[in-house]
């Protein structure tokens, strides 16, 4: 498992350049351009189960959802950040991607530390230190548990019938 | 304790009393989507066939991001959207050439004081200019909204920004909002709604638009202005009668997470340097820096008033030989005004390339893409690395006046040096 480490204010143009926004929408189209202008090694080297550790305001800028769709598709286990930009956070919930806001965990990380996440318990362990993060409200958790907003919406529509 | 503007608008949506931190169900007045409508509807083809669009009055679809189409792929994208509009009887569709979605939403009277609009574009926050609570969402959420007509919002906490005095000659609302973003930082208002208080009546709707538009550059969830006679007059001019909306504003004893005060008299022409919008410096400090392209337009600064202000500096002048000046109005209506009063003629004679109303070079998808090593001075809202199509180019953000003055000199110029 690799821990990919980035700083503050990583924006959506760095995560997925705007020039591809209207020509790439599927995970297959998105993948080669993921983090292209931030970390040219990422798209080739990322593996399922990897974790991203970032600073404040991760995912700021555009509302484009290709970064979230792409990161989910390559199997990123979770993004742990000091904070997330609002639209990115919502997009993450809507794709069922695990986003953990835990500044102490990010600050505790040192090169080579393992990072484990227990979503049920609301805990992230960095090296041998464990930090807790607050649970999501039930209503939002239901979206993640359904596998994202579209599967959730399909459930709702069926129930309304 | 009283309530903030966001608390009041979302309380109205919830049909009760909602306070910051609570999660409420909202049925937005409108859902904005643009060229991304095709990938949005592609996600829910089966559901659309089975359940249809929840409310054909709710979606507002504007083709603006790559117009006219740049290649077969983007042309096909537009074609799919037109077919969707027809099949589902979408009531508010504006084809390529009408303008940039945010400008179109406001000038067509679709964002109203006291209302709620969500859109799959981060600059949806622009409608705070007319006292409409508005925020960006992702494509998947837009897809779900088309099917159900509702979503959830967490009632945000709010930040109060009080403006004193008035902007001085050569200084614009763009300089003011860049100054503010530089002060609070790119994450300074995360998850919070900004309310602008104080000497608001000195600011036109175009100026308020510029400021609300850039709310997301401090990560705010909406950037709200009060509805006053300036707003009412603007809406009346755009065929919105006073009985069609109910403005909402904060109580005087509302609670804020922080309060800021800005003296507009002290604001100078400002420039946001690469690659962050909060990397703000006075234009005078960057004066003399070479530039290769100037861009006047976008949802931030593509209105008639912006083009006219630039044309006043460029009248009788010619753009420096080392600079390309690109101009794109925010909408056909704003372009019309600029044609009729001779603004476009002046810009054309000065050497500008005039593009159709649309997002154009701002997002690097087509038109005005930069080459490695080039530097662009732009009236847009973002200067992220790679934003204009090339990761090895630099984007500086400034006001229409600073862009015009700099285009004449071929280097970054404080517009007060040029204004007679």
Q: Phi and psi of B331, rounded to 5°?
A: -160, 165
Q: Which domain holds residue B93?
A: 5-13+23-262
User: Is there a single domain that holds both residue B140 and residue B242?
Assistant: yes
Among B149, B219, B395, the residue to mutate for chain A (most A Cβ within 10 A):
B219
Closest CA to A4 of A65, A33, A46: A46
User: Is there a single domain that holds both residue B88 and residue B221?
Assistant: yes
B335 in any annotated domain: yes
B280 by DSSP, 3-state: which?
strand
> Looking at residue A83, what is its pLDDT?
95
Q: Tell me, which fold does domain A3-133 have in CATH? A: Aconitase; domain 4 (3.20.19)
> Looking at residue B43, what is its pLDDT?
95
B18 in any annotated domain: no
Tell me whether A150 touches chain B (CB under 8 Å). Answer: yes
CA B51/CA B49 separation, integer angstroms = 6
User: Is there a single domain that holds both residue B217 and residue B279?
Assistant: no
> Looking at residue B141, what is its pLDDT?
97
Q: How many CB pairs under 8 A join A and B?
A: 135
CATH of the domain at B365: 3.30.499.10
pTM above 0.90, yes or no: yes
| Cβ-Cβ contacts under 8 Å, A19 against chain B | 363-365, 369, 386, 389
Tell me whether A51 touches chain B (CB under 8 Å). Answer: no
User: Is there a single domain that holds both residue B288 and residue B240?
Assistant: no
What part of B 114-133 touches A (C-beta under 8 Å)?
Answer: 120-122, 124
- ipTM (interface pTM): 0.92
Q: What share of chain A has pLDDT > 90, as a percent?
A: 89
Please give the residue of chain A at the shortest CA–CA distance from B46. A154
Please give the residue of chain B at the shortest CA–CA distance from A18. B363
Please give the residue of chain A at the shortest CA–CA distance from B185. A9
SS3 labels along chain A: CCEEECCCCCEHHHHCCHHHCCCCCCHHHHHHHCCCCCCCCHHHHCCCCCEEEECCCECECCCCCHHHHHHHHCCCCEEEECCECHHHHHHHHHHCCCEEECHHHHHHCCCCCCEEEECCCCEEEECCEEEECCCCCHHHHHHHHCCCHHHHHHHHHHHHC
Q: Are B123 and B216 in contact (CB under 8 A)?
A: yes
CA B202/CA A9 separation, integer angstroms = 33
B143 in any annotated domain: yes
Residues 6+ apart with CB under 8 A from B202: B166, B167, B264
User: Is there a single domain that holds both residue B50 and residue B116?
Assistant: yes
CA B399/CA B383 separation, integer angstroms = 14
User: Is there a single domain that holds both residue B252 and residue B351?
Assistant: no
CA A18/CA A31 separation, integer angstroms = 14
Among B41, B43, B151, B384, the residue to mutate for chain A (most A Cβ within 10 A):
B384
Q: How many residues are recorded in chain A?
A: 161
B148 in any annotated domain: yes
Rounded to the nearest angstrom, the minimum Cα separation between B419 and chain A is: 34
Q: Which of B194, B228, B262 is the last residue of a domain?
A: B262
User: Is there a single domain that holds both residue B253 and residue B304?
Assistant: no
What part of B 313-352 touches A (C-beta under 8 Å)?
Answer: none
Nearest to B190 among A61, A86, A149 (CB): A86
User: Tokens 């989910």 appear where?
Assistant: A72
Would you write out chain B's pLDDT as a tens digit for each of its 420 residues?
A: 899 999 999 999 989 999 999 999 999 999 999 999 999 999 999 999 999 999 999 999 999 999 999 999 999 999 999 999 999 999 999 999 999 999 999 999 999 999 999 999 999 999 999 999 999 999 999 999 999 999 999 999 999 999 999 999 999 999 999 999 999 999 999 999 999 999 999 999 999 999 999 999 999 999 999 999 999 999 999 999 999 999 999 999 999 999 999 999 999 999 999 999 999 999 999 999 999 999 999 999 999 999 999 999 999 999 999 999 999 999 999 999 999 999 999 999 999 999 999 998 999 989 999 999 999 999 999 999 999 999 999 999 999 999 999 999 999 999 999 997
Inter-chain CB proximity B42 and A95 less than 8 Å: no
Tell me whether A87 touches chain B (CB under 8 Å). Answer: yes
User: CA of B47: how far to CAs of B35, B44, B90, B119, B143, in Å?
Assistant: 21, 5, 16, 20, 10
Structure tokens at B289: 């820096």
**Has residue A161 got a pLDDT over 80?**
no
B337 in any annotated domain: yes
Tell me whether A130 touches chain B (CB under 8 Å). Answer: no
Tell me whether A73 touches chain B (CB under 8 Å). Answer: no
Tell me whether A81 touches chain B (CB under 8 Å). Answer: no
Q: Are B61 and B77 in contact (CB under 8 A)?
A: no
Q: Which of B213, B245, B262 is the last residue of a domain?
A: B262
Nearest to B187 among A23, A60, A91 (CB): A60
User: Tokens 């169900």 appear where?
Assistant: B25
The greatest distance separating any two alpha carbons of chain A, rounded to the nearest whole angstrom, comes to 53
Inter-chain CB proximity A13 and B65 less than 8 Å: no
**Has residue A22 got a pLDDT over 90?**
no
What is the per-residue pLDDT across A108-126, written as a single tens digit (0 to 9) for each?
999 999 999 999 899 999 9
Structure tokens at B16: 């009760």
User: Is there a single domain that holds both residue B135 and residue B232?
Assistant: yes
Tell me whether A83 touches chain B (CB under 8 Å). Answer: yes
**Mean pLDDT on A79-103:** 96
> How many Å separate Cα B204 from the centre of its chain?
15
Among A60, A69, A143, the residue to mutate for chain B (most B Cβ within 10 A):
A60
User: Is there a single domain that holds both residue B171 and residue B298?
Assistant: no
CA B34/CA B99 separation, integer angstroms = 11
With b for 16 or more beta-carbon neighbours within 10 A and e for fewer, the B398-409 pattern comes to bbbbbbbbbbbb
B180 by DSSP, 3-state: which?
helix
Other Cβ atoms closer than 10 A to A48? 10
User: B118: which strand partners?
Assistant: B31, B135
What angle, 0 to 180 degrees and rounded to 10, lies between the N-to-C axes of helices A138-145 and A149-160?
A: 100
Inter-chain CB proximity B187 and A9 less than 8 Å: yes
User: Is there a single domain that holds both residue B95 and residue B50?
Assistant: yes
Q: Are B180 and B161 in contact (CB under 8 A)?
A: yes
> Looking at residue B305, what is its pLDDT?
98
Residues 6+ apart with CB under 8 A from A41: none
Q: Which of B262, B279, B294 is the last residue of a domain?
A: B262
Structure tokens at B122: 């981060």
> Looking at residue A160, what is its pLDDT?
85
CA A54/CA A48 separation, integer angstroms = 18
Tell me whether B52 touches chain A (CB under 8 Å). Answer: no
User: B59: which strand partners?
Assistant: B31
**Residue A18: pLDDT band with limits 50, 70, 90:** confident
Tell me whether B27 touches chain A (CB under 8 Å). Answer: no
What is the per-residue pLDDT across B216-270, written as a single tens digit (0 to 9) for each?
999 999 999 999 999 999 999 999 999 999 999 999 999 999 999 999 999 999 9
CA A43/CA B397 separation, integer angstroms = 30
User: Is there a single domain that holds both residue B38 and residue B62?
Assistant: yes
| Cβ-Cβ contacts under 8 Å, B191 against chain A | 86
**Overall number of domains in chain B:** 2
């Amino acid at each position: 498992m690799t821990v990919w480490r980035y700083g503050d204010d990583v924006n959506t143009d760095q995560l997925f350049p705007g020039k591809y926004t209207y020509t790439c929408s599927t995970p297959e189209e998105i993948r080669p351009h993921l983090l292209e202008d931030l970390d040219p090694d990422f798209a080739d080297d990322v593996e399922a189960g990897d974790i991203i550790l970032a600073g404040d305001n991760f995912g700021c800028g555009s509302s484009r959802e290709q970064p979230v769709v792409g990161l989910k598709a390559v199997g990123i286990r979770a993004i742990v950040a000091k904070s997330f930009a609002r639209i990115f956070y919502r997009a993450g919930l809507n794709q069922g991607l695990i986003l953990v806001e835990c500044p102490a965990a990010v600050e505790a990380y040192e090169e080579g530390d393992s990072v484990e996440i227990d979503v049920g318990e609301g805990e992230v362990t960095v090296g041998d230190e464990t930090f807790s993060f607050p649970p999501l409200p039930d209503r939002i958790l239901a979206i993640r548990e359904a596998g994202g907003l579209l599967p959730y919406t399909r459930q709702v529509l069926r129930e309304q019938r | 304790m009283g309530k903030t503007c966001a608390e009041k608008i979302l309380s109205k949506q919830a049909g009760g009393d909602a306070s910051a931190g609570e999660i409420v169900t909202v049925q937005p007045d409108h859902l904005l989507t643009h060229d991304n409508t095709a990938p949005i509807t592609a996600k829910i083809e089966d559901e659309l066939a089975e359940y249809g669009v929840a409310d054909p009055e709710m979606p507002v679809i504007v083709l603006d991001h790559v117009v006219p189409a740049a290649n077969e792929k983007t042309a096909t994208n537009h074609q799919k959207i037109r077919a969707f509009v027809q099949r589902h009887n979408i009531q508010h569709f504006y084809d390529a050439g009408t303008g940039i979605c945010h400008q179109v939403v406001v000038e067509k009277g679709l964002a109203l004081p006291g209302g709620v609009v969500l859109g799959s574009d981060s600059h949806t926050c622009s409608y705070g200019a007319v006292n409409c609570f508005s925020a960006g969402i992702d494509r998947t959420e837009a897809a779900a909204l088309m099917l159900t007509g509702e979503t959830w919002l967490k009632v945000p906490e709010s930040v109060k920004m009080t403006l004193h005095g008035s902007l001085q000659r050569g200084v614009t609302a763009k300089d003011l909002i860049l100054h503010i973003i530089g002060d609070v930082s790119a994450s300074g208002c995360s998850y919070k709604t900004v309310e602008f208080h104080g000497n608001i009546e000195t600011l036109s709707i175009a100026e308020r638009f510029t400021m609300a538009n850039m709310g997301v550059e401090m990560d705010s969830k909406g950037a709200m202005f009060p509805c006053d006679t300036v707003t009412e007059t603007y809406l009346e001019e755009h065929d919105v009668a006073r009985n069609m909306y109910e403005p909402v504003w904060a109580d005087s004893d509302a609670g804020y997470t922080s309060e800021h005060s800005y003296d507009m008299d002290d604001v100078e022409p400002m420039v946001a340097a690469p690659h962050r919008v909060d990397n703000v410096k006075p234009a005078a400090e960057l004066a003399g820096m070479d530039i290769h392209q100037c861009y006047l337009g976008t949802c931030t600064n593509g209105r008639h008033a912006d083009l006219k202000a630039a044309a006043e500096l460029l009248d009788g002048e010619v753009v420096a030989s080392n600079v390309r000046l690109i101009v794109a109005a925010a909408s056909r209506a704003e372009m019309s005004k600029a044609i009729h009063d001779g603004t476009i003629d002046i810009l054309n004679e000065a050497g500008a390339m005039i593009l159709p109303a649309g997002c154009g070079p701002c997002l690097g998808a087509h038109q005005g893409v930069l080459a490695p090593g080039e530097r662009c001075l732009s009236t847009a809202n973002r200067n992220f690395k790679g934003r204009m199509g090339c990761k090895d180019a630099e984007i500086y953000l400034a006001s229409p006046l600073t862009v015009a003055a700099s285009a004449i000199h071929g280097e970054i110029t404080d517009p007060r040096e040029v204004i007679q």
